[in-house]
A and B are shown apart, each in its own frame.
Chain A
Amino acid sequence: MTNLIVELSKYALILLMALYTCMTFISFRMKTRKSSDYMLAEMTFIMLLLQFVAYLVLYLKLGEKEDMIYYYGFQALFMVLVTLLWRLFYKDIHNTLISNMCMMITIGLIMLTRIDVEKSVRQFKMIIIAMIVSMLVPVIIRKWKTCCNFDTVYGIVGILMLGVVLVMSATTYGANISFTIAGVTLQPSEFVKILFVFYVAGRFAKSTEFKDVVVTTIFAAAHVLILVVSTDLGGALLFFVTYLVMIYVATQKAIYCAAGIGAGCAAGVLAYNLFSHVQVRVMAWQDPWSCIDNEGYQIAQSLFAIGTGGWTGMGLGQGMPSSIPFVEKDSIFSAISEEMGGIFAVCVILICMCIFLAFFNLAMKVKNKFYCYLAMGLGTMYAAQVLLTVGGVTKFIPLTGVTLPLVSYGGSSLLSTLIIFGIIQGISLIIYDEEREVEKERNRLERDKRRKDREKEKQKQKA
C-alpha cells in the first residue's frame, strides 16, 4: 500500500505543480482586484494540496510519525495565515508574488524535511521570524519617502560590512563568508545585496551625469572586488550583473553596458589566472569526470541525482540526495529534481522566472525613478541568483555556491530574500498611491475646468 501511494503521489505532485505553474502565469492577466483575489485563493488551495500529498508521503516514508503530523499542521496553518494577513494588512499588494513566495517556501520545507527534519524545523522557525520582519517592510517603504536620500550611507555601510567580514572571517571551502554573533551565524553579504541596490538606485535617481556615474562605479567595483578577494565568486558575480543592468537602464547608454561587460570579461580572465579556486571551479565544470574524487565530486553527484531522477523523479524519500555535498544549500535544486522529477524542477524554474517578471513588471509601473531602479535591481539580483544556482548544479555554468532564494537552507539568505519581497510589496503599494494621486489631480483639474467654463459662460451671458 505504501508503495502504491508513494508511486501515485509522484504523479500527483507533478500534476499539481504543473497546474500551479500554469495558474501563476495566468494570474498575471487578472485585471480586477476581485478576480486576482479569487486566483490567489485557488493557487493557495493547489499549494496546500501539494503540501498535503508531499507530507503524506514523508509521513509514510520517514520515522517520526506523530511529530510529522503536527509539523505539517503548523506549516499548512502558517501558509494560510501568511497569505491572509498579507492580504488583510495591505490591500494593494501583488497577489502572485505572495502565492509564489509561499510556494517556494513550501517546496523548500518539504525538501528540507526529507533531507534533515532537524534542519527543517530550524528553518521553519527562521521563516516565522523573517516573515514577521517582511510584513513590516512595506509600511516602512511606503511612509519613509526620504529613504532615497541616504545613498552614501548605504554605500559606506555596505562596504564596511563586507570589509569587516573579509578581515574577520575564516574562509571555508573557498567561499561562504560568515561570522557568528551570539550563536547566530550571519552572512553579511546577503544583506549588503539589499544595501547595494539601495545605494545604486539612490545614486542614479539623483544623477546620471558622467562624473557621478564614475563615482558610483568606483563604489560598486569596490563591493565586487572585496567579494572576489574573500573568494565569494557567486556573490561578486551577482553584484556585478546587477550593477551592469542598473547602469544600463538608468543611463540608457549601451556603451556603459558594453564597457562593463568588457571589464567583466577582462576581470574574469584575470581572476582565472590569479586565483586557484577560480581555476578549480572552471576545471570541475569543464570535465567533472576526470576529477570526480575531488573538485568534480559535487557537480558529478548533482548530475547523478538529476539524471537518475529523470523526468518523474525517484519519489520522495527514495533517492539519495544526501550524497550531494551541501545539498540543503547550493544543491537543493538537484535534490528536488532527483526526488520530485525533472518536470517538477522545470516548474520550479518557471515559478522563479515568474517572480522575476513580477519584479520587473512593478519596476515598469512605478513612476518614481528611485523605486523603479530599486525594483529592477532587486529583480535582477533575484534572477541572477536563481540562474547561478540552477545553472551551476546542472553544469550549464561553473558552480559558484549560490543558494536558491527561499528554497535553500540558511537563515541569512531567507531573511534577506523575504525583506526583498517586502520591499517589492511596498513598491506595489506606492504604485497604487501614485495612481490615486494622479486620479485626484485629474479630478481637481476637471473641477477647475468646469468652474472656469461656468465662469466663462456667466461672462458670456453678462456680455
Chain B
Amino acid sequence: MNETNEEKIEKKKNRNKKPKNQEMLYVAYIFLGIFVCMIGYFVYFQTMVSSNVITSAYNKRQDTFADRVVRGDIVTSDDVVIATTNVAANGAETRVYPYNDLFAHAVGYASHGKTGIELLANYQLLSSHAYFLERFVNEVKEEKNMGDTVVTTLNYELQKTAYDALGDYRGAVIALEPSTGKVLAMVSKPDYDPNAINANWESISSSSDSVLLNRATQGLYPPGSTFKILTLLEYMREGNDLENWTYECTGSYTEDDVTINCYQGKKHGMVDLKTAFAKSCNGAFAKMGMEINNTEFMRTCNELLFNTELPIEFPYKQSSVSLEKNDETGTVMQTAIGQATTEVTPMHMALITAAIANGGNLMKPYFIDSIENYTGEQVKKYMPSSYGKLMTAGEAAVLTEYMTETVLSGTATALQSEVYTAAGKTGTAEYTTDKSKSHAWFVGFSNVEDPDLVVCVLVEGAGAGSTYAVPIAKKMFDTYYVNN
C-alpha cells in the first residue's frame, strides 16, 4: 500500500522485462572492437603491405596498365639507359635495348612473356608517378602517361668488362657487393638480342644452345675445387687442429682401392692445410673427406643453401649435394673435392663467397636500387636486407685467411695487385669421363680487410680455373678499382 505509483509502474514493467543487461553492452563493445581492428588491418594492408604484394609477377592487373602508361626506362646505377620505349608518331610502341646482348639475361624481355628485370619491375615500369596535374591532363586528353624509371643495381662498366672478358666462351660471370647484396654484374653466355625477340622468337626460343637459359642462376655445374671451401669449413667445425695439420702429397691419394689424383698428377709434397687449400691439393681434401662426418657435412652444406631455396627473385635452379652415412669411399672422396653428383649454380657460389666476405652474414641479392619518375625524381628506394648468418664471423675470418693464401701463393697468384688485396678459390671441375675437359671456376673477393666486390666466374669446358677463370676475375677487379 505504501508503494508509489512510479514503483508500481516499474514493477509492472519488470515482470516481462529482462534483467538490466550489462553483458549486452560488453558484447557490442567487443564486436565494435573487432570491426575497428579489421578496418585498422585494412588500412595497414593498403599503406604498408600492398606495395609489396601488387608488384608480384602473378598480378595480371599490371598488364592492363599498359593501355594507359608508356613502359618506363631501365637504367644502370651509373645512369646508362639499358631499356627504353620508343613511341612512333602513330602511337606504336617498341621496346628498345640499346646495348643488345650485353644485358640480355639481367634485363630480360617484355614480349612473349616477361623475364629478368622487365618481369621483376613490371609493376613499377607500368606505374606513373609523373606530376599529378600532368597525369590528370593526360587522362583527360586520353593520352598515355610516362611510366617510372627503374634504376638497377647493375654497373655498366662491370657488366661490359664481364661480357668482353668471357668472350666467345660459354659460362657466367657474377659481381656482387657483399655488404649490401647489390648485384653489380650478371652475364650469361650464349646470349640473345632482346631487340630481336619479336622478330626471331622461333629461333631464339628453340635454339639448341638454349640461349634463353640464364646460366648464372639456372646453370647447374659440378663445383670442383671451389667446393673445398665447404669441406674446409666442415673440417674446422668438427674441431680438427688446422694449425698443426700436415699431409705428404704424392700426386694421388688411395683408400679402399679408390684413387684420387691431384690436377695433372702434380706432387705437392709436404703441405700444411693452408698450402693444401691454396694449391688445391685433391689428395689432402679427399683424406679430409674420409675423416669428416657425412651427416654433419650435409647439415653444413644445407646451412650454406645446398638443397635449399636461394633468396633471389630471379628464376633459379636449386643446388644439390648428397652424401649418405654409409656411402662408398669413392663417393665420399669425390664429394669432398666437389665432384660426384654435386651441382651448383654460379649464383649460389657467389652467395657463399659473399657471406664469407661479409663476416658470415649473407645479404639478400637484389637488382633494383630505386624507382624514379620519368623526370628523375626518386619515388622509392630499396634497402639492403639480410638473409641471415651462414657461418660465424670466426669461421668466415679463417676461410678468408685461407682464400687469401690462394692469391698469395696458390692457384690465383695472378690476382696480386698494387691497388687491392684479393682472396679466392679456383676450381677445375670435370664434367665428363674425358678428363681433359673441365669447367673453369673462380670465386673470390677484393679488398680482404673490408671486402668491396665479390666475383664468381664460370667458364664452360675451358680448362683450369687458374688459367681461364682467374684472368676474367682480375679484369673485373681492375675495372672496379679504376672506376672507383
List the interface of chain A (C-beta within 8 A of B): 3-4, 7, 245, 248-249, 252, 289, 292, 300, 303-308, 310-311, 314, 318-320, 323, 342, 345-346, 349-350, 352-353, 356-357, 360, 363-364, 367-369, 372, 376, 380, 383, 387, 390-391, 394-396, 438, 441-442, 445-446, 449
- Is B27 within 8 A of A248, CB to CB? yes
Q: Which residues of B contact A249 (CB under 8 A)?
A: 21, 23-24, 27
B60 CB within 8 Å of chain A: yes
Give Cα A445 to B46, complex, Å: 61
Give Cα A350 to B43, complex, Å: 13
Number of inter-chain CB pairs below 8 Å: 133
Q: Which residue of B lies closest to A350 (CB)?
A: B39
- Is A387 within 8 A of B35, CB to CB? yes
- Is B13 within 8 A of A367, CB to CB? yes
* A271–chain B nearest beta-carbon distance, Å: 21
Q: Please pick, from B8, B19, B136, the residue contacting A445 in the complex, using a CB distance under 8 A.
A: B8
- Is B139 within 8 A of A304, CB to CB? no
- Is B16 within 8 A of A367, CB to CB? yes
B203 CB within 8 Å of chain A: no
* A405–chain B nearest beta-carbon distance, Å: 15
Q: Which residue of B lies closest to A296 (CB)?
A: B58
12 more A-B residue pairs beyond the given contacts A306-B46, A376-B27, with a C-beta to C-beta distance below 8 A: A289-B56, A303-B53, A304-B54, A304-B60, A318-B64, A349-B39, A357-B32, A360-B28, A369-B16, A394-B42, A441-B9, A446-B5
B45 CB within 8 Å of chain A: yes
| 9 residue pairs, one from A and one from B, having the closest CB atoms | A307-B50, A307-B54, A304-B59, A369-B18, A367-B17, A308-B61, A353-B35, A249-B23, A4-B140
- Is B140 within 8 A of A304, CB to CB? no
- Is B61 within 8 A of A320, CB to CB? yes
Give Cα A4 to B136, complex, Å: 9
- Is A306 within 8 A of B16, CB to CB? no
Q: Which residue of A lies closest to B21 (CB)?
A: A249
* B104–chain A nearest beta-carbon distance, Å: 28
- Is B42 within 8 A of A380, CB to CB? no
B34 CB within 8 Å of chain A: yes
Give Cα A343 to B314, complex, Å: 35
Q: Please pick, from B8, B39, B46, B53, the residue contacting A311 in the complex, using a CB distance under 8 A.
A: B46
B41 CB within 8 Å of chain A: yes
B112 CB within 8 Å of chain A: no
Q: B163-185, CB under 8 A of A: which get 1 and which 0?
A: 00000000000000000000000
B241 CB within 8 Å of chain A: no
- Is A356 within 8 A of B31, CB to CB? yes
- Is A396 within 8 A of B38, CB to CB? yes
Give Cα A345 to B50, complex, Å: 15
Q: Which residue of B lies closest to A342 (CB)?
A: B46
* B329–chain A nearest beta-carbon distance, Å: 40
B325 CB within 8 Å of chain A: no
Give Cα A132 to B100, complex, Å: 69
Give Cα A401 to B387, complex, Å: 36
Q: Is the interface of B mostly helix, strand, loop or mixed?
A: helix
Q: A310-B50, A320-B60, A367-B16 are in contact. Are A346 and B9 (CB under 8 A)?
A: no
- Is B9 within 8 A of A304, CB to CB? no
* A276–chain B nearest beta-carbon distance, Å: 25
Q: Which residues of B contact A390 (CB under 8 A)?
A: 38, 42
Q: B43-67, CB under 8 A of A: which get 1 and which 0?
A: 1011001110110101111101000
Give Cα A356 to B50, complex, Å: 29
Give Cα A403 to B23, complex, Å: 28
Q: Which residues of B contact A356 (CB under 8 A)?
A: 31, 35
Give Cα A289 to B28, complex, Å: 36
Question: Could you jot down 16 A-B contacts, CB within 8 Å?
Answer: A3-B142, A248-B27, A300-B58, A303-B50, A303-B53, A305-B61, A307-B46, A307-B51, A349-B39, A349-B42, A357-B28, A363-B24, A364-B21, A380-B27, A380-B31, A390-B38
List the interface of chain B (C-beta within 8 A of A): 5, 8-9, 12-13, 16-19, 21-25, 27-28, 31-32, 34-35, 38-39, 41-43, 45-46, 49-51, 53-54, 56, 58-62, 64, 136, 139-140, 142
Q: Which residues of A contact B23 (CB under 8 A)?
A: 248-249, 252
- Is B19 within 8 A of A252, CB to CB? yes
Give Cα A174 to B39, complex, Å: 29
- Is A3 within 8 A of B31, CB to CB? no
Q: Which residue of A lies closest to B51 (CB)?
A: A307
* B312–chain A nearest beta-carbon distance, Å: 15
- Is A342 within 8 A of B42, CB to CB? yes
- Is A360 within 8 A of B24, CB to CB? yes
Give Cα A442 to B4, complex, Å: 12
Q: Which residue of A lies closest to B50 (CB)?
A: A307
Q: Which residue of B lies closest to A253 (CB)?
A: B23
* B159–chain A nearest beta-carbon distance, Å: 31
Q: Which residues of B contact A345 (CB under 8 A)?
A: 42
Q: Which residues of B contact A449 (CB under 8 A)?
A: 5
Give Cα A438 to B11, complex, Å: 11
* A244–chain B nearest beta-carbon distance, Å: 9
Q: Which residues of A contact B39 (CB under 8 A)?
A: 346, 349-350
- Is B61 within 8 A of A368, CB to CB? no
Q: Which residue of B lies closest to A376 (CB)?
A: B24
- Is A349 within 8 A of B38, CB to CB? yes
* A398–chain B nearest beta-carbon distance, Å: 14
Most buried by A among B8, B27, B54, B62: B27
Give Cα A306 to B38, complex, Å: 14
Q: Which residues of B contact A441 (CB under 8 A)?
A: 9, 12
Q: Which residues of B contact A396 (CB under 8 A)?
A: 38, 41-42
Give Cα A357 to B140, complex, Å: 43
Give Cα A454 to B51, complex, Å: 81
Q: Which residues of A contact B21 (CB under 8 A)?
A: 249, 252, 364, 372
Q: A7-B139, A306-B46, A345-B42 are in contact. Are A368 and B16 (CB under 8 A)?
A: yes
Q: Which residues of B contact A310 (CB under 8 A)?
A: 46, 50
Q: A303-B53, A304-B56, A445-B5 are in contact. Are A364 and B38 (CB under 8 A)?
A: no
Q: Which residues of A contact B59 (CB under 8 A)?
A: 304, 308
Q: Please pick, from B25, B35, B51, the residue contacting A349 in the complex, using a CB distance under 8 A.
A: B35
Q: Which residue of B lies closest to A310 (CB)?
A: B46
Most buried by A among B9, B32, B38: B38
Q: Which residues of B contact A387 (CB under 8 A)?
A: 31, 34-35, 38
- Is B18 within 8 A of A367, CB to CB? yes
Q: Which residues of B contact A248 (CB under 8 A)?
A: 23, 27
Q: Which residues of A contact B32 (CB under 8 A)?
A: 353, 357
Give Cα A390 to B38, complex, Å: 8
Give Cα A323 to B64, complex, Å: 13
- Is A307 within 8 A of B53, CB to CB? yes
Q: Please pick, from B24, B35, B38, B56, the residue contacting A394 in the complex, using a CB distance under 8 A.
A: B38
* A47–chain B nearest beta-carbon distance, Å: 22
Q: Please pick, from B22, B35, B42, B54, the residue contacting A308 in the complex, using a CB distance under 8 A.
A: B54
Q: A249-B27, A364-B21 are in contact. Are A306 and B140 (CB under 8 A)?
A: no
- Is A304 within 8 A of B18, CB to CB? no
Q: A248-B23, A289-B56, A304-B61 are in contact. Are A7 and B140 (CB under 8 A)?
A: yes
Q: Which residues of B contact A380 (CB under 8 A)?
A: 27, 31
Q: Which residue of B lies closest to A303 (CB)?
A: B53
Q: Please pick, from B18, B42, B136, the residue contacting A372 in the complex, using a CB distance under 8 A.
A: B18
Most buried by A among B46, B49, B54, B60: B46
Give Cα A78 to B229, complex, Å: 78
Q: Which residues of A contact B38 (CB under 8 A)?
A: 349, 387, 390-391, 394, 396
